[in-house]
Chains A and B, each alone.
Chain A
């Protein structure tokens, strides 16, 4: 079982690599959006908070798109039926898929982050802190987005609207991220612990709720 679990992870990794074209497209969209943002505010002195907030909002949307697309493709009815009948519980498969979506997005983001910071006119000395912050918060964003996606892709259109209920879960991430960026030196390690704690909370509930929604609404 353990051997096959690792084989499943390796297969999911290969699958993720093949589907990474969409991630590249989304990162290109992010770069274009950042360029438009910077160009439109080129004559204003806006400091670091506004571009970072913009970056956060864009990352939030990109994650939603990516998770939604992956869930539409990977959890269509026929595949979902096989996952449900797999000896691995659906929660584990959801967890593995979420982690692969995370890896896919974060790898491309880390590669392009220096360029994005230059475009947004953010001091490069903050590169590591901003990347750490985004890497930690993106984990929670993906796991919450998976709950949203599992409801949105359901067969019942009326229930799809209830996915809006998951959106407030993103708010603490945005609030705490902005709170960290207010402390200019980013040296408050305890603030980072919030993201770890929030991720662990999501890790406990998100795969359970996502797989429950998939089983009940999509089969």
Chain B
């Protein structure tokens, strides 16, 4: 369970948000909504311990989230792409899986790639991919890196409807397996078993 108590955050002298409280239990999804600039991404980076809050605390199964817990239990997919332009799609996958210490079976990797990308030349350089395909490479980590909590910042931007449904299917599977998902999105997508946090 992730529990957030009286969380406030300020950047310089500007208060971004104040007194945020929520609890998310295993098997639940939290959808964070709000206009641009209200602090959705900042809230995610607070939860994952990238930035320190001004006040309040965040716990995961009763323990305060530190770097060790974040790296063991949290998978974060941000807005910006993390892949290397000079590497091919295949090399990028291998590289980021080794960074996340994942030993994978080649057939599992190929199956996952096929599920998200369908027919795609894996020897294509990353910069040759479209925006949506680049986004899919990030989301591929959801299938290959096994961590109990997914923190996703606008994962559907740039995806076509078919891909959105596929990612939604991954969400359902994750929730069935008692995972926790925190997601920000501007799109009107219907999830199963979800709570909403509206930031003002």
Residues of A within 8 A of B (CB): 1, 3-4, 7-8, 11, 14-15, 18-19, 76-79, 81-88, 93, 219
Contact = CB atoms under 8 A, between A and B. Distances in A.
Nearest to A93: B99
A85 B76 contact: yes
Contact of A81 (B67, B78, B84, B101): B78
A84 B86 contact: no
B31 interface: no
B100 A18 contact: no
B51 interface: yes
A76 B72 CA distance: 22
Contact of B84 (A15, A77, A87): A15
Interface string B30-49: 00000000000000010010
Given A78-B82, A85-B74, A86-B71, A7 B98 contact: yes
Task: Tell me if A's interface is mostly helix, strand, loop or mixed.
Answer: helix
B191 interface: no
Contact of A85 (B51, B71, B80, B103): B71
B78 to A, nearest CB: 6
Contact of A84 (B70, B79, B80, B96): B70
Interface in B68-91: 70-72, 74-76, 78-82, 84, 86-87, 91
Interface of B: 45, 48, 50-51, 67, 70-72, 74-76, 78-82, 84, 86-87, 91, 94-96, 98-103
Nearest to B75: A85
A66 to B, nearest CB: 16
Contacts of B50: 81, 84, 219
B103 A4 contact: yes
Contacts of B74: 85
